[in-house]
Structure 1
């Protein structure tokens, strides 16, 4: 049985290009897709492929590139070991040597070439992931230096907060009344109460 696997990192990204490439080798109903990060292999579609209803000995799995499986070098090695143990052939479209059919008894040639290429490609995939994380970190640091606030906006406390808080705590007014007097929504009010009580 032939299967295909396609993955993009987020729901906004499009799978069409990968599916189109895989359809040359696999029927569309046998193409499994995920819209999830490649930082590890814990993805619904991919795990289903490896589960009871998926790949069996003698099956072939097609992917457009090695980083569709994972962007983590260690994970890629483990996955390749899994395919080897289960006797499932992995064919990677942008790795032509993985598509070659060799005569009986000469599979070691293919395996040797693939092992070298896989080592190189998995290192590149891992490096790309680390580079992306490094750039994100640098972007956050640069934004902080420029005085930009990242994340949830800082909630300003009304001048009369402690006075209204005291009235509410003494039971003179309800929480709803306190929020009304402060012009605050429920979540903001209780968040500020928590911060205020910690001080």
Structure 2
């Protein structure tokens, strides 16, 4: 049977989830089906969200959130998650994007598919532009620093030889982040630094 789940997130424990939860309840989500996290949105490794994404949501279900940034603060992550849900036939409704909340007659699901595709394309364009801008600023900053003879700090961490394989398994949910770190021989901070660089398209 198809189910509807809600997800709410705030960045710290002293913030309140009440406003988001009320919005989800008003949309008809049962309180028992609302999953919450109180943690930064910079990483997808959140206990509640991972359980919802990998265990609770199934093909044909619906996920409702208050705004896209509840999924993540990283546009590349949002894009990745929307693609994941599209591939698994999970409909994502965003309260702050009214076009995603339209109730359509049976047989017109293609409209949601169209809206989802537009969201993905827009976010992909934004993410790509931000990556290009970041690279340009970094290149300009390095050039200026070299001209001034500035020391650019410790060498950046390098990707282990089997990075691509382990990273892919982790992103698919096949292995945990802890397993990935152990297999790669990386500390937690180094692992997530490399993840950030990799997802931003930096080498």
- TM-score between both structures, scaled by the size of structure 1: 0.56
Q: Rg: which structure is higher?
A: 1
Task: Name the count of aligned residue pairs.
Answer: 126
Moved over 2 A (4+): 101-124
Match of 2:67 in 1: 65
The match for 1:9 among 4, 8, 11 is 11
Shift of 1:51: 2.2
- Distance in 1 (CA, whole Å) between partners of 2:121 and 2:86 is 15
How far apart are residue 74 of structure 1 and its match? Answer: 0.8
Counterpart contact for 1:10–1:37, Cα < 8 Å: yes
- Other structure's SS at 1:74 match: helix
Between the aligned partners of 1:2 and 1:39, the Cα distance in structure 2 is 25
Secondary structure in 1 matching 2:16:
coil
Gaps of 5+ in 2: 131-203
In the alignment, structure 1 residue 18 sits paired with structure 2 residue 40 = no
Q: Residue 85 of structure 1 corresponds to which residue in structure 2?
A: 87
CA contact (8 A) 1:8 1:14 kept: yes
**Correspondence list, 1:140-155, <5 A:** none
Considering only aligned residues, what root-mean-square deviation do their CA atoms show, in Å?
2.5
- Mapping 1:1-199, distance limit 5 Å: 1-24=3-26, 25-52=28-55, 54-103=56-105, 106-117=108-119, 120=122, 123=126
